[in-house]
Amino acid sequence: MFVVVHMSHLFTLLFIPFSVVLAQFNGLVTLNETLTAGDKDAFWLSPSKDFAFGFHRLMNNDNVLDFDFTDEHYLLAIWYYKLGPDVTIVWHANTTTVPRGSTLELNIHTGLVLITSSSQSGDQVVWKTELKEGEGGGGFVSYGLMKDTGNFVLLDENRKVIWESFRHPTNTLLPTQTMKIGDVLYSQKSLTDFSPGEFKFSLHENGNVLLNFTSLFNFETPVTYHKIGFNIGGHAYQINFDAKGNLYLLSSDRKICIAKSDDAIVSPSKHYLKVTLNFHGVLSLSYCPKSNHNTTEMSWKVLKAIPDDICNDLIVPRSMGTGPCGYNSICKVRYDGVPTCKCPIGYSFLNPNSNYSGCKPDFQQLCDDNGNKMMSMKDLPKTDWPQSDYELIEPSDYEECKNNCLLDCNCFVAIFNFDNNRCFKNRLPLSNGRESEKLKHAMASIKYMNASLINTLHIPSSNKTYKIIMTLMFILLGGSLLINAVVLSSSLLNCSNKLIRSNGNSVVMSLRRFTYKELTEATKGFKEELGRGSYGIVYKGKTEFGTDIAVKLLKDYLVRMRKNSKPN
């Protein structure tokens, strides 16, 4: 690679410190150097090669689902270079991902400039460093330097720092980095979405260190779920993350520890250290060995999590969203304070590749006598879904609470409090789900469809000598119709082509997915109605093989269908 240096800056380069000259191809970035997304080694390394600054490609793997990978996507970022394929990004430009062919250039007037190009809009500047007087600006950029601390800096002709990544943090602090009043760490939206998420870590002007939840959908007052430094006296002015791995708050008369490293476990010479506000809202002090990078030991371990139980400490108002695990899920912290998420019985993850995506019910609640007979209640000790209740029954007892929910078509979970004999009936979506030893007084009972009860149903025949026994579930069709006709053949009694075989207490079902056109033809245009529920209407139909089926249309689809059928 050839480097072109303006003659006006040749004199300046002669006075660059000798240590910087030695780092010319490891840390020093001269004017007019460029990086191109998609090129091999499209990054600048620190002298020790611990950190790289440049274009990081977001790979298409099981953990990355947020992007269309028919095109390549890159992020302008700083990351740990030696940590192998599991890249740990510690800083990124405040922009969206950019396509292959995007360029980063260091110029004299604006410093770093990120440019994308397309046939429709031509060259477009999507990000650049802002050189302000408050950062020592006023001069021209002379050169850049990727330091071994993980800080990328721009310096003027007097070797003064006029921009640095440490003063523009994203979600991570590195040793020797500081935060001043007004500085903020933002969580990511998810593991793969690097735009700002719902959690913030900041030093407030009143001297308090705050962890806040801020809804991305409305402008309600943020929810503070952890606070440090209240009534400490003096004037707090800075957060320091020192070289030994200690995070503390400085005031005019004292120092308050926020998170302390463990000298018996961690050595700065042998371990990488970082403080990260994770996408799930936990602020973690973590370490990773610098050696053994090709072994299973090469992973980040949490020394301190703040708060130590986010599942219990964070309760989001219903109008603002839900907790770290999403709707209809259950949050439980691990030994290291990291929240884990699971779905209750009868529910599954919205995104099978992300346990933090929330859960969806795998059944539809039927609002009639037979529907109620198909539902069961599963007890979940020490579990609660606050902010999801719509009715309180008091006084009550445990069995009464469960039965009341079982017979209520709007109720999906009953929460019984043994301390005060209160019963809370909850509806979907279930928010802030949590399981904790602190909830020994609570018992959740969740409703689910019990397939083993199908044979106990009694459905009267109508002008037929056979029975139609079915389970109604859903699949996505056309973005607005959820249908999954699970067909139980009338041949349960007489037909040789059996779709259901009873063997003891087991029921074996053959499932088929129908298109909307097939269902329209099978029901003759949804002509014969079998029954109604709170979510829609059930219609009778017959397949091309003569098998009787039932199909349920959701109410919102029915409204649109009838609206579209009206003459103009």
Which helix H or strand E contains 291, and what residues bound it?
none
Q: What's the pLDDT tens digit per position in 289-323?
A: 987 555 445 689 999 999 999 999 999 998 888 99
What is the C-alpha separation between 9 and 157, in angstroms, rounded? Answer: 8
Please state the separation of Cα 248 from the chain's center in Å. Answer: 28
pLDDT band at 60 (very low <50, low <70, confident <90, very high): low
Strands 103-107 and 98-99: unpaired
Question: Given a cut of 90, is residue 492 above it in pLDDT?
Answer: no
pLDDT band at 565 (very low <50, low <70, confident <90, very high): very low
Q: What's the pLDDT tens digit per position in 29-55?
A: 999 999 999 998 999 999 999 999 999
What is the C-alpha separation between 422 and 307, in angstroms, rounded? Answer: 29
Rounded to an integer, the average pLDDT of 114-118 is: 89
Closest CA to 133 of 156, 114, 106, 108: 156
Sign of CA dihedral 205, 210, 214, 219: negative
The reported pLDDT for the residue numbered 542 is 83
> With 0-12 CB in 10 A as exposed, 13-18 as middle and 19+ as buried, what is 265?
exposed
Rounded to an integer, the average pLDDT of 407-430 is: 95
Q: Give the class (CATH, top level) of 342-453.
A: alpha beta
Rounded to an integer, the average pLDDT of 397-403 is: 94
Tokens, residue 457? 């149903």
**Percent of the chain at pLDDT exceeding 70:** 73
Question: Given a cut of 70, is residue 71 above it in pLDDT?
Answer: no
At 198, the amino acid letter reads E
Average model confidence (pLDDT) across the chain = 79
Rounded to an integer, the average pLDDT of 363-379 is: 78
Whether 284 and 337 have beta carbons less than 8 Å apart is answered as yes
Question: Given a cut of 60, is residue 566 above it in pLDDT?
Answer: no
The string of DSSP codes covering 174-218 is: -TT-EEETT-EEEEESSSS--SEEEEEEEE-TTS-EEEEE--SSS
Within 10 angstroms of residue 536's Cβ, the number of other Cβ atoms is: 20
Q: Which of 163-172, 395-404, 469-478 shows the lowest mean pLDDT across its residues? A: 469-478
Listed in sequence order, the residues at least 6 apart from 1 whose beta carbon sits closer than 8 Å to its beta carbon are none
Question: Given a cut of 80, is residue 505 above it in pLDDT?
Answer: no
pLDDT band at 499 (very low <50, low <70, confident <90, very high): very low
Q: Is 552 annotated as a binding residue?
A: yes
CATH architecture of 24-62+69-168: Orthogonal Prism (2.90)
Listed in sequence order, the residues at least 6 apart from 128 whose beta carbon sits closer than 8 Å to its beta carbon are 110, 111, 112, 113, 114
What is the C-alpha separation between 514 and 523, in angstroms, rounded? Answer: 12
- In eight-state DSSP terms, residue 350 is E
Tokens, residue 153? 């800096």
The reported pLDDT for the residue numbered 418 is 96
Rounded to an integer, the average pLDDT of 241-268 is: 89
Q: Give the class (CATH, top level) of 514-567.
A: alpha beta
Question: Given a cut of 70, is residue 102 above it in pLDDT?
Answer: yes
What is the C-alpha separation between 284 and 270, in angstroms, rounded? Answer: 19
What is the C-alpha separation between 404 and 390, in angstroms, rounded? Answer: 13
Listed in sequence order, the residues at least 6 apart from 389 whose beta carbon sits closer than 8 Å to its beta carbon are 415, 424, 425, 426
86 or 404, which is more confident: 404
Whether 281 and 310 have beta carbons less than 8 Å apart is answered as yes
What is the C-alpha separation between 86 and 298, in angstroms, rounded? Answer: 10
> With 0-12 CB in 10 A as exposed, 13-18 as middle and 19+ as buried, what is 27?
buried
Domain extent listing, the chain: 24-62+69-168, 342-453, 514-567
pLDDT band at 20 (very low <50, low <70, confident <90, very high): very low
SS3 at position 61: coil
Listed in sequence order, the residues at least 6 apart from 341 whose beta carbon sits closer than 8 Å to its beta carbon are 324, 325, 326, 329, 330, 331, 332, 355, 356
Strands 389-393 and 422-426: antiparallel
The reported pLDDT for the residue numbered 21 is 43
Question: Given a cut of 70, is residue 375 above it in pLDDT?
Answer: yes
Q: What's the pLDDT tens digit per position in 159-195?
A: 999 999 999 999 999 999 999 998 999 999 988 888 8
Per residue, the 3-state secondary structure of 8-23, as one string, reads HHHHHHHCCCHHHHHC
The reported pLDDT for the residue numbered 138 is 57
Question: Given a cut of 90, is residue 263 above it in pLDDT?
Answer: no
Tokens, residue 71? 């095109």
Spell out where 58-171 has E strands: 73-80, 89-92, 98-99, 103-107, 111-118, 122-128, 141-146, 152-156, 161-164
b/e map of 48-76 (b: 16 or more CB within 10 Å)?
Answer: eebbbbbbbebeeeeebbbeeeeebbbbb
Tokens, residue 240? 């320091």
Listed in sequence order, the residues at least 6 apart from 378 whose beta carbon sits closer than 8 Å to its beta carbon are 344, 345, 346, 445, 446, 448
What is the C-alpha separation between 113 and 187, in angstroms, rounded? Answer: 25
